[in-house]
Structure 1
Amino acid sequence: MTRTFKNTVLSLLIFFGTLSNTFAQNDADPAITSFGFGAASVPVGGTTTLSLFFLNNGDFQSLVPGSIAILVSLTNAGEYTAEPESGLAVVSGLPANYFTWTYNPATKALRGVLNTAITPGDGGQIDIVVKGVAVGSNTSTVNIQRLQPANLTGDFVGNNTLPPALLAVTPSLPVTLISFNAQKENSGVNLTWVTTEEVNSDYFEVQHSVNGKSWSVLGKVESHKDSKVTNNYTYSDANPGEGMNYYRLNMVDRDATHAYSRIRSVDLEGKSETNAVFPNPAATFISIDGQEGKEVKIFDVNGVLKTSSKVQDGQISINNLRNGLHLIQMTNSANQVVTKKFVVLK
């Protein structure tokens, strides 16, 4: 065997060995690409969503059951907690089903162990509901634990631990609002709302919009000031505009602090809109009428699924979406698939 031939064979062995290592490093790559709260602050007794985006970022190999776990650590100081304090009840989103979750109230830590195979490119948004307990500023952390190294031969370095997410818990709101509804009534719109507790409350300001962005004041309704019983309120808009009309309450305290209610919409073309998506454009979240507790899917304009999430409190987070046109897919009351457009603009 000549020296030239030996050198050629050696070069080929080195090349294929390097190529093999390159493929191995990309076999399976569990990654958390974003992590944060749906709101920067929440009042005592209020709730918000802590969301993370998980996927198998590898090229060739599926993540196998038992190979990894996601650990989400909430604050230890007691300013906020999972709501309710049960891993099964608090975690939602389609990818959440890929994991078996447990929650430790003592350490305020959620741990999900992978229970099914995740193919390359598969994943999505996982949502955790948290509740404000005491005033304070808090952080939450997330990381991926490697449980079975023999079953995870790919790249495990990078984008698995993100900076802590920050949440401020503020003093409780002056009003506990349990419902706010808007319904077409003849040629007008009737607004109704119910409170169960009012502390130092002053009045309700009824606001109206035709686009969900610019608001005007329709009127003012006096509150019961201080109350621990159920109170019912009504307000009638006798001259709503044609098409979509949006309504919200500005709940004002006697020290001038205030908070807004959820937005409600009514279509004056004939019936209440059950699948309205607003605001549009949107930056951090969108509200969807008639989809509470349902799973909705968001696609880009090329039809690529970007996220799948359950509607909670009438909203879903869009923090992980890039600017541009998107399509949201949902089912209506007749179990028909409905697709609507919205724009992300940050």
Structure 2
Amino acid sequence: MKSITATTQLFRLAFAAALLFAGLTPVAAQTASAKNGVTPALMLSFDGQVNDNAALLNWVMENETNCKWFVIERSGDMGGYDSISVVDGLNNNNMTTYNFADGHMLSGNNYYRLRQVDRDGITRYSKVVNLYSSAVENATPKMAVYPNPAISTLNYSVNSAAPQQVVVQVYNLAGVVCYTTQQQLFAGVNQQTIALNGLKNGNYFLKVTNREGSTQFVQPFVKMM
């Protein structure tokens, strides 16, 4: 009996050592309990590098069959993560490599993490990747939302280089679309308003995308009564 116990302990230590050798943190290797016979996906790696003042992020998934999408979150030295983009899950049950480029890095340290949202609402976070940019922050302003927390309406402000029509969507943390509309932006700084009637209290994020999909803004907000 002692021999069996010792063997089990050695197996656990060897498994933990293998994860560390592969560069996986407990968060990166975290999996949720299987639901409805779906085996949770495993994040094998998440890293990045800076090239020409752009952050090039890449991550590798395995056994991915139930992923809704990945939310790319970024924080600077002042703290507080913002959602800067969303990448749809490909759900290849073999090994899948994802890539994302952030061309608007903050000056100084940029801390990136992934929030993986499954179709059944389970959320997992990756490890944090720190990339440094010595360039001055890009002059193109990002979208701002206010008030935050919001009660009945939410305003957003964004600078558009030219007149264009955009799709405005609100998602909850499970990745479900709760609101969709279209709005017209004019050249210059735009201030738009959307109604939050019907939304329950909680955390959401606002996504504004032009019709070509080449411009995208994402910001989180909180809905309160």
The TM-score by the shorter chain falls in which range? Answer: 0.3 to 0.5
Q: TM-score, normalised by structure 2?
A: 0.44
Larger radius of gyration: 1
Q: TM-score, normalised by structure 1?
A: 0.30
